[in-house]
């Protein structure tokens, strides 16, 4: 789990790089989005003990499966593990409907999230990716620690054909690993395919894309045929082994960048970012 001290260190680094405005809201951006209208609210807590809030679920996947289109899923502080197979993919959470998933809550306070004080960690334990998002849907992922995913494409998050908002998350220590000597790994932290996406206030650290394919890469982020807005994100210590774009690889896509920081990213070529 990312400790409070580490979070404060990151906020200080971002403050020095980008100004105090980002640091003040770097991991607290989830509060602004929590007021978005939703059809209903569902709750998730370790062991399915939500402190009396209902409907209560033991896992994010259980809540997603039970949700109607447009529901909001609020996830209490804790660590959530356990991947499952679905649609020929292995992940902790598979999403094919319009939902919002937000972390940073406690079982005694479900109204106002604080991801810094109450970290909510989804940990795939290198057994699969964390989120797979597919379809003509709108999905918001906010205020979560997304850690230790593993896949060929999108070790942390894979999204295809969707409208996706990633806000105030820590996306860390995930791997996109190509198979065989020429296999390509795409997007260690996040992979976007034919998406309309907003990434705002995220910390992408220690992710990697490994493989020998000519179009592989994007240790932190890989976007293909997508419309991407990147604002106030910190790409730190991501890597692309034998590939391009240690921080980000934007391919056949349009991208708007504002106030992002790239620190210590490495690659065989174009370690910061490639377009």
Share of the chain above pLDDT 90, in %: 76
Residue 127's pLDDT is 98
For residue 258, the surrounding DSSP H or E stretch is strand 254-258
Burial (CB < 10 A; 0-12, 13-18, 19+), residue 83, is: buried
Residue 120's pLDDT is 98
> In whole angstroms, what is the distance from residue 83 CA to residue 107 CA?
24
Residue 272's pLDDT is 75
Q: Phi, psi (5° rounding) for residue 259?
A: 70, 25
Q: Which residues of the chain have pLDDT under 70?
A: 1-38, 214, 275
Q: Are 212 and 181 in contact (CB under 8 A)?
A: yes
Among 120, 95, 113, which Cα is nearest to 45's?
A: 120
Query: In terms of pTM, does the model score above 0.85?
Result: yes
The answer, yes or no, to whether the previous bond of 55 is cis (omega within 30 of 0) is yes
Residue 213's pLDDT is 73
Residue 16's pLDDT is 40
């Amino acid at each position: 789990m990312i400790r409070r001290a580490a979070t404060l260190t990151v906020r200080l680094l971002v403050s020095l790089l980008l100004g105090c405005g980002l640091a003040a809201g770097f991991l607290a951006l989830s509060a602004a989005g929590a007021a978005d209208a939703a059809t209903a609210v569902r709750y998730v807590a370790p062991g399915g003990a939500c402190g009396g809030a209902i409907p209560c679920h033991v896992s994010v996947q259980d809540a997603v499966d039970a949700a109607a289109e447009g529901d909001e899923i609020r996830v209490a502080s804790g660590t959530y593990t356990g991947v499952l197979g679905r649609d020929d993919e292995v992940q902790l959470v598979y999403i094919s409907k319009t939902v919002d998933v937000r972390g940073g809550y406690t079982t005694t306070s479900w109204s106002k999230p604080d991801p810094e004080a109450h970290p909510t960690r989804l940990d795939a334990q290198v057994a699969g990716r964390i989120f797979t998002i597919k379809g003509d849907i709108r999905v918001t992922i906010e205020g979560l620690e997304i850690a230790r995913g593993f896949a060929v494409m999108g070790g942390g998050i894979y999204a295809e054909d969707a409208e996706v908002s990633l806000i105030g998350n820590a996306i860390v220590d995930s791997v996109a690993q190509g198979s065989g000597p020429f296999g390509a790994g795409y997007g260690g932290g996040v992979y976007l395919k034919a998406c309309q996406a907003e990434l705002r206030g995220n910390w992408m650290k220690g992710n990697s894309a490994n493989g020998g394919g000519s179009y592989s890469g994007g240790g932190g982020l890989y976007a293909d045929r997508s419309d991407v807005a990147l604002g106030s994100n910190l790409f730190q210590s991501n890597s692309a082994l034998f590939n391009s774009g240690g921080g980000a690889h934007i391919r056949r896509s349009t991208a708007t960048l504002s106030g992002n920081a790239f620190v210590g990213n490495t690659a065989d070529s174009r370690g910061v970012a490639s377009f």
